[in-house]
Amino acid sequence: MQNYIFSIAAVFIGALFVFIFKASSHKNLKLLLAFSGAFLLAITIFNLLPEVFENNPFAKRTGVWIMVGILLQKILEYFSKGAEHGHIHLDKETHQIPKLLFISLGLHAILEGFPLHHTDGILMGIIIHKIPIAMILTTFLLNTKIKKSVIILSLIIFALMTPLGTFISGNFTVVQNYYKEITALVIGIFLHVSTTILFESNEGHKFNITKLLIILLATITAYLI
């Protein structure tokens, strides 16, 4: 049950922070994104990768599914405009929720919920990943002409997507029979998202000791969980 509650709460924490404080420091948000990207990458490498390759006689096929996940995330980003790693470009004059953006984010969120019941540490990785994304998404939506009631409803639906993926993974036999393949797909998604966050957080490819320390802290934390 805590997997459902915490994954929902992560979206609400990010959204409430924006609703209450109105604006957030761009610099601090970049650091939070860098931490989330490094943490998600480390959790994927330390926990998810060993899980899908341990005692696996079909390792090459698993690698194919990881590549499919990377390519799928690339396709999703075409519609979401990179919202999964902090990039959202919306028409500020719009009165309607961008449907393709939310469909893409929803599918991403459903898939990332699949390993929650099975893999230690992945819940914390998803929480840390979702908070800054929810902050960025809420900030951009509030800067449009979309009604606040519609924005809140959209955020609630988005918050429910990861628990939906977790529920499907835990209750549908057909999904459980292909758990390793689906998890490999999710690994590909996580690898793409996390590395993109880390590469883009280093603007101009300049050395930044603060971001380096943040990344090291995230990696050590993920290892100790």
pLDDT tens string 114-162: 988 776 678 888 888 899 889 888 888 888 889 999 999 999 999 999 9
User: What string of DSSP letters covers 82-141?
Assistant: TGGGT-----TT--S--HHHHHHHHHHHHHHTTTTTTSTTHHHHHHHHHHHHHHHHHHHH
Q: Do you know the residue count of the chain?
A: 225
DSSP state, residue 81: T
- The encoded tokens of residue 218 equal 């995230």
Rounded Cα distance, 119 and 47, in Å: 7
- The encoded tokens of residue 100 equal 């393709």
pLDDT tens string 16-27: 988 887 655 566
Q: Which residues of the chain have pLDDT under 70?
A: 22-27, 85-91, 119-120, 201-207
pTM above 0.85, yes or no: yes
